[in-house]
Structure 1
Amino acid sequence: MLQQIIETPTPPQPRPVRLTVMQGQARVSGDPRVEFTTVLGSCIACCLFDPTSHVGGMNHFLLAEPKGGRGVDEHYGAYLMEVLINEMLAYGASRTAIRAHLYGGANMHSGMTRIGMANATFAVNFLERERVPLVRSSLGGVHARRVDFRPTRGQARFRLVDDSIAQQPTERPATTRGEVEFF
């Protein structure tokens, strides 16, 4: 006796919605289609996620803390780390379930202040003080990074940005010394 096998087609998966997190921003989502992305040099991106409530977010900060008593704004990690945690809680995350990834902190220019390392040290210390476990990181070095983060799953990937293309001298186009006719 022949048995007929009927295959049910799998519904197509929705395409991810890629949202860029710019310097000075913190974004949070509970939508499984959302993927946050950013490019970092000496800046830091902190990716937080709660595996129980399926909420996550990313920030992107330029400097760790202001010097000399200046006010804290969106360029500083001291501000954006608090904003990210508070947004996570507003979206239903549990404070005790939040986990973290950290990326960036490269020292892009030799001979200059090691801003990247200072940013990385600040971010690691902040998470320790707040008792947020750091589950993955890629910090320091001399290369920029591109980071993609799926906040509801806590999945992140990063790639080092190859700077060899930028350092190749560009050739000047050949000049011709022909006749020119003006109209």
Structure 2
Amino acid sequence: MSRTVPWPDGMECTLKTIVSGETFVSGKTNLVISTVLGSCVSVCLYDEAAGLGGANHYFLSSSQGQSASYGAVAMEHVINGLMRLGADKSRLRAKVFGGALMKEGLADIGKKNASFALEYLQAERLPIVAMDLGGFSARRLHFHPVTGKARVVRTEAVPEINHKIEQSSNRVELFN
């Protein structure tokens, strides 16, 4: 059973969900690519004239492996996939999302992932027409590959609450 989502122009679109380490390209008008991002990044590329687009979801900026979990491999999969379908690289436009710092005190992997995307796109001379990067909350992304339209919903970060238990007499009090 496939899930559908209403799109702003009134069309019902089938969702194609991608997860970390996956890429997807399409020219279907009734399809929306969906993913959830934390520190990961998704670069959405589209050629509006050809009616083609695609997205990746990577979680490692380093290019040490051959998996689409790595930014460079994920980018090549989308670019090559679009060109195989008939996109012209000179018409590709980019939208970049994700790269959040999901937990304070950990290495800022999201910042590295976002920086990689921006540097890669600049080196390949692919214009960035929209981005929503960084911050402290996860994002749900819906991307319509044919038109390049994107919708992002941010989740509210839930702060960690440290509870202290204080015992005096027979009372227990919790403090934030």
Q: Secondary structure at the match of 2:120?
A: helix
* TM-score, with length taken from structure 1: 0.79
Q: Structure 1: which 5+ runs fail to align?
A: 1-12, 170-183
Aligned to 1:26: 23
Runs of at least 5 residues in structure 2 that lack an aligned partner in the other structure: 1-9, 163-176
CA distance in structure 2 between the partners assigned to 1:71 and 1:117 by the alignment: 20
Output aligned runs, 1:156-167, within 5 Å: 156-164=150-158
Counterpart CA distance in 1 for 2:144 and 2:27 is 10
Query: Would you say 1:16 and 2:13 are equivalent positions?
Result: yes
2:3 alignment partner in structure 1: none
Q: Is the 8 A contact 1:101 1:136 kept in 2?
A: yes
Q: Percent identity?
A: 38
Instruction: Output the CA distance in 2 between the equivalents of 1:141 and 1:59.
Output: 20
Q: Separation in 1 of the partners of 2:18 and 2:157? A: 22
Query: Any residues of structure 2 matched to 1:94-173 within 5 Å, and which?
Result: 94-164=88-158
CA offset at residue 159 of structure 1?
Answer: 1.1
Q: State the TM-score, normalizing by the size of structure 2.
A: 0.82
Indicate conservation of the 8 Å contact 1:148/1:158, yes or no. yes
Aligned-partner Cα distance in 2 for 1:14–1:31: 13
**Conserved? CA contact 2:136–2:157, under 8 Å:** no
Instruction: Please tell me whether the aligned partners of residues 127 and 133 of structure 1 are also in contact (alpha carbons under 8 angstroms).
Output: yes
Per the TM alignment, residue 74 of structure 1 is displaced from its structure 2 partner at its CA by 2.1
Quote the offset at 1:167 in angstroms: 5.5
Q: Distance in 1 between matches of 2:65 and 2:16?
A: 29
Contact 1:65 1:72 in 2 (8 A): no
3-state SS, counterpart of residue 109 of structure 1: coil
Amino acid paired to 2:100: A
